[in-house]
A and B are shown apart, each in its own frame.
Chain A
Amino acid sequence: MVGIVSYGAYVPRYRIESKDIAKVWGKDENIGKGLGVFSKSVPGLDEDVATISVEAARNAMKKCSVDPGEIGAVYVGSESHPYAVKPTATIVAEAIGAGPHLTAADYEFACKAGTAAIQTCMGLVSSDMIKYGLAIGSDTSQGAPGDALEYSASAGGAAFLIGKENVIAEINKTYSYTTDTPDFWRRESQKYPSHGGRFTGEPAYFKHVMNCAKGVLEKVGAKPSDYKYAVFHQPNGKFPVRAAKMLGFTSEQIETGLLTPRIGNTYSGATPLGLAAILDVASPGDRIFAVSYGSGAGSDGFDITVTESIERLDRNPTVESFIANSKFIDYATYVRYRKKLHLGGE
């Protein structure tokens, strides 16, 4: 059955605390508690979606013995691709020694472009069009200075090698729920996104995540207690907790994959990184429930079962090791790192 052959993660080392952002804008320093985001990851000056994707992809390839020449497709999902025109996927393919005999493309669907890439690879592998496909979700998202998104928009990514042989986790089912909903957007050449404020909750995130989750459960005939772990898209630390509770999942089930309180919302990297953190500790037979969400809007759901092969995989470097390797910076350094400062002559 089609599934995950290997996976790799990457989270940049820099962090800023929500209270340090709040201080600058004269907001309540406890704002982090309200959002469920206490600190977020910040990319270095020489890091972008291409470098994060390459590091995650290399970590995935290091764990397994698959010849990169056997990868037939590379898809990178992100809303912060370095180029408006020129794919990130070709950079990744070249940097892991894959190609030239492969197909590649970049995906965009707000925060769910990475899970859309997984689905595409599943289709290509299941139909025997390719032997292996590499799906990546990665972002270096930004919020406008002073905007609510500035507390959460962060950077990170994860890569999944999809195939049929020696899978460490079988993907039993995938199902998506999609409608046209303008809850969050960014127009061409605008540096920062716009959003519908409160509109982002009920009719957007919750409607799609809940319907997608219920759809998966119904299609596989399962109930929340059948799963060891669950991961939901996590734009903040509150939404996924509420969605899980409404569906009947416990806090123990979602704890491992809930990373936003410590690293912020990694957008296209969020559900993939949460899933990677779960695979880091999962045992054979464990069942995993995953639902992403992308504004615009849609959710991709997955029902996954971990196999015996996971015990033969060296799971380092783990997501937790990236989270632990952190350097906290102040707002001034953050402004410099995120190029929010306009230098003369630029």
Chain B
Amino acid sequence: MAVPRFWREIPQRYNLEGTECPKCGKKYFPPKSVCDSCRRESIGKMKKVKMSGKGKIYTYTVIHVGSSMFQLQTPYVMAIIELDEGPRITGQIVDCEINDVKIGMRVESVFRKIGEESKSGVIYYGYKFRLIK
């Protein structure tokens, strides 16, 4: 990932900032500038909105062989989270025992290191999730 792209995406990566259609109330993450349902009527009117970070596990998979950046973390859980606001997003589930993870479990977002460009490069931070006990 290039540094400028990461920098542009900081509001969404740090704070789950998405958009909301003022007409029908549908929320989008990642942010969209046009509502799927209201189309033209929503252009230029979409509002910025922060997702709560709370949701549930829609589905998940266990990664046993990660890319070199993630090899020290294996095995780990990647899940699709259905946020309470509606959007579904992909994220890692941290601080859990792999066998404890089940579909439908409640989760909340946490702030973690997502990766780094290289040993001397920029560090990327953003959201991951943990189980709510």
Which residues of A are at the interface with B, using a C-beta cutoff of 8 A? Answer: 13, 44-48, 50-51, 54-55, 58, 82-83, 91, 94-95, 97, 327, 336-337, 339, 343, 345-346
Contact A44/B94 with A58-B111, A97-B15, A339-B72 known, Cβ cut-off 8 Å:
yes
Chain A residues within 8 Å of B92, by CB:
46
Contact A47/B119 with A94-B10, A339-B72 known, Cβ cut-off 8 Å:
no
Residue in contact with B112 in the complex, picked from A46, A58, A91, A336, CB distance below 8 Å: A46
Q: Which 10 A-B pairs have the closest CB atoms?
A: A54-B111, A46-B112, A46-B113, A95-B14, A13-B95, A51-B111, A45-B73, A51-B112, A45-B72, A94-B14
Give the nearest-CB partner of B11 in chain A. A94
Any A CB within 8 A of the CB of B110: yes
Chain A residues within 8 Å of B114, by CB:
46
Chain A residues within 8 Å of B125, by CB:
50-51, 54, 91, 95
Any A CB within 8 A of the CB of B128: yes
Any A CB within 8 A of the CB of B68: yes
- Report the bound CA distance from A46 to B114 in whole Å: 7
Chain B residues within 8 Å of A343, by CB:
71-72
Give the nearest-CB partner of B127 in chain A. A95
List 10 contacting pairs A-B, 8 Å CB cutoff, sorted by A.
A50-B123, A54-B111, A54-B125, A91-B14, A91-B125, A95-B15, A95-B111, A327-B95, A336-B72, A337-B72
Does B95 contact A44, Cβ atoms closer than 8 Å? Answer: yes
CB distance from A83 to the nearest CB of B (A): 7
Contact A346/B119 with A46-B94, A95-B15 known, Cβ cut-off 8 Å:
yes
Chain B residues within 8 Å of A91, by CB:
14, 125
Contact A48/B72 with A94-B10, A97-B15 known, Cβ cut-off 8 Å:
no
Chain A residues within 8 Å of B72, by CB:
45, 336-337, 339, 343
Chain A residues within 8 Å of B71, by CB:
343
CB distance from A177 to the nearest CB of B (A): 35
- Report the bound CA distance from A95 to B53 in whole Å: 13
- Report the bound CA distance from A122 to B35 in whole Å: 47
Does B15 contact A48, Cβ atoms closer than 8 Å? Answer: no
Chain B residues within 8 Å of A346, by CB:
119
- Report the bound CA distance from A339 to B10 in whole Å: 27
- Report the bound CA distance from A198 to B122 in whole Å: 39
Does B15 contact A47, Cβ atoms closer than 8 Å? Answer: no
Chain A residues within 8 Å of B112, by CB:
44, 46-47, 51
- Report the bound CA distance from A189 to B23 in whole Å: 55
- Report the bound CA distance from A146 to B11 in whole Å: 42
- Report the bound CA distance from A48 to B125 in whole Å: 10
Chain B residues within 8 Å of A95, by CB:
14-15, 111, 125
- Report the bound CA distance from A44 to B113 in whole Å: 10
B101-120, CB < 8 A from A: 110-114, 119
- Report the bound CA distance from A337 to B74 in whole Å: 11
- Report the bound CA distance from A343 to B70 in whole Å: 12
- Report the bound CA distance from A343 to B21 in whole Å: 48
Does B68 contact A345, Cβ atoms closer than 8 Å? Answer: yes
- Report the bound CA distance from A322 to B33 in whole Å: 40
- Report the bound CA distance from A44 to B114 in whole Å: 12
Does B128 contact A46, Cβ atoms closer than 8 Å? Answer: yes
Give the nearest-CB partner of B17 in chain A. A97
Give the nearest-CB partner of B73 in chain A. A45
Chain B residues within 8 Å of A97, by CB:
15, 50
